[in-house]
Amino acid sequence: MTRPVFRFAPSPNGRLHLGHAVSALLNADLADRMNGRLLLRMEDIDPGRSRPEWAAAIREDLAWLGLRFEEPVRHQSQHLATYRRQVEALATAGLAYPCFCSRRDIAAAVADRSATTGRPAPRDPDGGPLYPGTCRHLTLSEIAARRAAGAPHTWRLAMDRALAVAPGSFHIHAFADPDRPAAREGVRPIGSVTPVAQERGGGIANPSRWGDAVIARRDVPTSYHLAVVMDDAVQGVTHVVRGADLLAATDLHLLLQALIGVPSPAYRHHPLIRDPSGEKLAKSRGSQSLADLRAAGITPEEIRRRFGFRA
């Protein structure tokens, strides 16, 4: 039987905090108990935020936690040409189109539409305005003229066409862990943080709520969504274990997997660790990093024990 493949996929734009630690420990624990492989992937497509120093610091934090990953570690920034080719293939198939709108253009179009209809602007699961479709119907010559003039553009998924060619509905295959029921998972507080969200399961995905999602940015020939789907496939990932904040993203990932023609892994979305005000931990909110905890004398064993892992 082929061994299950797990991965931890941090973005190297700062130090890891406890939320990352729980995610990494869950992946490692499941891989261990299911005789699986454990991979590491640096999601470093953002040239403005990702830094090699952070990637090195993340590896140091993971080693401090006692986690070992298979080599080589995949760095998304080294595979931009592969993502670009996939975007081109989707465009050739009529499933993606260039979008020349700036954020301001989109905000204005959405406000106009809302004023006309008297209804609030629909939002995507990340809270951004659902793309109103301004560039969806540009003619080939209009597109050629704008590109020749050097106008920057993103690439968007043509959601209606994508759903029309994708086979049927998308079932999120969620996997449970019989040895660690969700109710018990990470319920003990550590320091000043407490996990609150319930584990989220499977069900039928609804990719259309993302509208014509961006699959390639202006500055990078991919988006998080496309890169994660392609990399999970290339790395042979069978089990994705990540935070509940990415549950809605999974809806879009299932559609992209169908369009690209790669298998869908099984998913498990674990509860997020939140600070006392109920906010998700984040560097930008000054949440304590693992390095801070280490400096304060907290040991990896304490972290493991407090979140219910074997020390």
Interacting residues with ligand GLU (CB under 6 A): 9-11, 43, 228, 242, 246
Q: Which is nearer to ligand GLU, 43 or 185 (CB)?
A: 43
Q: Which is nearer to ligand GLU, 13 or 208 (CB)?
A: 13
How far apart are alpha carbons 213 and 32 in whole angstroms?
36
What's the min distance (Å) between Cβ of 246 and ligand GLU?
6
What's the min distance (Å) between Cβ of 260 and ligand GLU?
16
What's the min distance (Å) between Cβ of 141 and ligand GLU?
39
Q: Which is nearer to ligand GLU, 242 or 306 (CB)?
A: 242
Are 155 and 98 a contacting pair, CB within 8 Å? yes
State the chain's maximal CA–CA distance in angstroms: 64
Q: Which is nearer to ligand GLU, 106 or 214 (CB)?
A: 214
Give Cβ neighbours of residue 283 (< 8 Å, ≥ 6 apart): 13, 14, 15, 17, 289
Q: Which is nearer to ligand GLU, 3 or 283 (CB)?
A: 283
What's the min distance (Å) between Cβ of 286 and ligand GLU?
18
Q: Which is nearer to ligand GLU, 138 or 244 (CB)?
A: 244
Q: Which two tokens stand for residue 17?
A: 């905090």
What's the min distance (Å) between Cβ of 20 and ligand GLU?
7
What's the min distance (Å) between Cβ of 187 and ligand GLU?
22
Q: Which is nearer to ligand GLU, 11 or 238 (CB)?
A: 11
What's the min distance (Å) between Cβ of 3 and ligand GLU?
20
Q: In angstroms, what CA-CA distances link 68 with 48, 57, 309? A: 28, 15, 16
